[in-house]
Amino acid sequence: MRSLLDTTLLCVLASLLLASNSYAETKTLQIYFVDVEGGQATLLVAPSGQSLLVDTGWPGFNNRDADRIAEAVKSSGLTQIDYVLITHYHTDHVGGMPQLLKQVRVSTFIDHGPNLENDELAPEGYAAYLSSLGSVKHIVAKPGDWIPIEGIKVEVLAAAGARISQPVHGGGQANPYCASEPKWPDDRTENAASVGVLVTYGDFRFVDLGDLTKDKERGLVCPKNLIGTTDLFLVSHHGMGLSNSKALVHALHPRVAIMENGAAKGDAPEAWQTVRDSPGLNDLWQLHYTAASGADHNVSKDAIANLEGDSDGHYLKVSAQSDGIFTVLNSRNKLERTYKK
């Protein structure tokens, strides 16, 4: 006969197991879209606690961007960043690295390899980045690689002008939007060298292609869509018209899109409209209101994190569950919207 003590212990163990399972089920992938005023800084925190920062914003401005990234790191409970992925070497993506390293420890850097551009934008940012590497572990990403973050899958779709040649899981469909898509000029800037990734957490999928431009976008989705559809899409290149082709955006069929634009950068009406017209889109969110684009090409103000040009650095945050349900939070007004499958 089972003793009272045995029964009590079994009940305690069962309760602990249920609590553990419940905790596991409520763990989420956290994605912070940090306001770096028209650059990029996207912090992902996996359910395992490991982290990936995509780009580091601008240099200067009294450490503005580094401070905002460091605050996101602190808010998420991190003590370091496991991986920093630099999509490309334009200053608005890599320039904040030296300042950030004075505040936050980084375990590993990831990039596409040597700078491929010699205009006024890339060399300065690249030089500052190289001086930051020191003895920290460094990985050169290639299409088809996986970034080893426990609990999520991060697949490299494009890097250094190259792309995956075979579809990822969930991709491979014929793309009907290719027939009407123009053949875009070959782009030899660092934008076209951007590292683009697909992040998967269970049924949730998030695509970030950096500043990849239309010629390179086409290779990923035409004649077949090698990526498949996505739940969340980071509007490429801050919402500029050099990127965000219909063949790409409409084939990705995002349920939600987020634009990391600035008050006077990005949010081009053509790109905005392409994203807004994407079939199946529930919502588009913006980091900034862009006055030059007018009311017709900005979303409603409740879905914009920063309404003034000289902003307070409000961010957008996504919390995604493994079943594909996710919530977007606007830190300015605390508005939350949840998106179910």
Counting residues of the chain whose pLDDT is more than 70, the rounded percentage is 91
pLDDT of residue 104: 96
pLDDT, one tens digit per residue, over 36-62 is 999 999 999 999 999 999 999 999 999
pLDDT at 308 over 80: yes
Q: What is the pLDDT of residue 6?
A: 47
Residue whose entry in the numeric block shows the structure tokens 């084939």: 251
Assess whether pLDDT exceeds 50 at residue 323. yes
Evaluate whether residue 15 is within a structural domain.
Answer: no
User: Where does the pLDDT of residue 282 fall: very low under 50, low under 70, confident under 90, or very high at 90 and above?
Assistant: very high
Q: What pLDDT does residue 121 have?
A: 64
Of the two residues 10 and 260, the one the predictor is more confident about is 260
56 half-sphere exposure, CB direction, 13 A CA radius: 33
Taking residues 245-270, report their average pLDDT.
Answer: 97
The answer to whether position 4 is within a domain reads no
What integer is the mean pLDDT of 7-15? Answer: 40
Query: Per residue in 196-224, pLDDT tens?
Result: 999 999 999 999 999 999 999 999 999 99
Average pLDDT for residues 21-39, to the nearest whole number?
A: 78
How many structural domains does the chain have?
Answer: 1
Residue 223, preceding peptide bond in cis (omega within 30° of 0): yes
Is residue 122 in a domain? yes
42 φψ region: left (φ > 0), alpha (ψ -120 to 50), beta (else): beta
**Can you give the CATH number for the domain in which 147 is found?**
3.60.15.10
173 falls within a domain: yes
pLDDT of residue 40: 98
Its domain, for residue 307, covers 28-339
Return mean pLDDT, the chain. Answer: 91
- Is residue 192 in a domain? yes
Helix (H, G, I), strand (E, B) or coil at 302: helix
Terminal-to-terminal C-alpha distance of the chain: 49
Q: Where do the H-state alpha helices sit in the chain?
A: 4-26, 64-75, 91-94, 97-101, 122-133, 214-221, 246-252, 269-276
Please state the rounded mean pLDDT for residues 286-302: 96
Is pLDDT of 335 > 60? Answer: yes
Task: Determine, yes or no, domain membership for 254.
Answer: yes
pLDDT at 235: 98
Is the confidence at residue 12, as pLDDT, over 60?
no
Over residues 152-156, mean pLDDT: 98
Burial class (CB in 10 A: 0-12, 13-18, 19+), 271: buried
Which of the four pLDDT bands, split at 50, 70 and 90, describes residue 102?
A: very high
pLDDT at 4: 35
Neighbours of 296 (CB within 10 A): 8
More confident residue, 23 or 168: 168
| DSSP per residue, 243-292 | S--HHHHHHH--SEEEE--BTTBS--HHHHHHHHTSTT--EEEEEE--GG
Beta strand pairing call for 137-140 and 106-111 = parallel
Does 210 map to a domain?
yes
How far is residue 85's CA from residue 111's CA, in Å, rounded to a whole number?
6
Please, which pLDDT band fits residue 19 given cuts at 50, 70 and 90? very low
Residue 2 is assigned to a structural domain of this protein: no
Q: What percent of the chain has pLDDT over 90?
A: 83
